[in-house]
Chains A and B, each alone.
Chain A
Amino acid sequence: GIQVEQSPPDLILQEGANSTLRCNFSDSVNNLQWFHQNPWGQLINLFYIPSGTKQNGRLSATTVATERYSLLYISSSQTTDSGVYFCACRSGGSNYKLTFGKGTLLTVNP
């Protein structure tokens, strides 16, 4: 099945800093999503982005499907941005199962 790799596994920032999270995937995808999991376990949808670039406030994402990677940018980070960020992909080769990467644990210090 599809392999989804995220980097870095852990990231510590000071409030106000910018960061880039990366997701590499091993097969062509027809669905790629970025989620933020809050401390209570809720998975919050950030972007549905199988290709192209999207922006939502301080967050933006780019997926280059031909090169099999996606990037999540967080600008002017806030303490409330802390948590785990997951990339998840679907591919036909994996029976369209939504497969998660291992996540990036982001800690933003005041």
Chain B
Amino acid sequence: DTEVTQTPKHLVMGMTNKKSLKCEQHMGHRAMYWYKQKAKKPPELMFVYSYEKLSINESVPSRFSPECPNSSLLNLHLHALQPEDSALYLCASSQNQMNTEAFFGQGTRLTVV
């Protein structure tokens, strides 16, 4: 099983809302990632968790707040987003952060109105 599950698949939120994106994997992977992808662009790394600790933050604005409650779950808490934050948010996991194959979820398509 190489499945990474993301919920919800679609999300529309207002600029004053608070929402969360969820990601789950049961492959025993110890590295998990959030990527953001705008239309016609490649995915861009936002955060990396390694062994449930934040390893990389690519200078992401604080209105995006990641959380890794355990080795299988990764959340992305959203607050006071801007319309330009509308994008496809992709979660991924791999056995470790260094050199193993990464698997991606189906993504959450976020629209900020």
Contact = CB atoms under 8 A, between A and B. Distances in A.
A102 interface: yes
A99 B43 CA distance: 8
Interface residues of B, number: 24
Given A41-B107, A43-B90, A99 B102 contact: no
B45 interface: yes
B45 A86 contact: no
A97 B42 contact: no
Contacts of A50: 99
A45 B90 CA distance: 14
Contacts of A31: 98-102
Contacts of B32: none
Interface in A89-107: 90, 92, 95-103
- A-B pairs, 6 with minimum CB distance: A100-B42, A43-B104, A48-B101, A30-B99, A41-B107, A96-B98
Interface of B: 2, 33, 37, 41-45, 48, 56, 88, 90, 92, 97-104, 106-107, 109
Interface of A: 30-31, 33, 35, 40-43, 45, 48, 50, 86, 88, 90, 92, 95-103
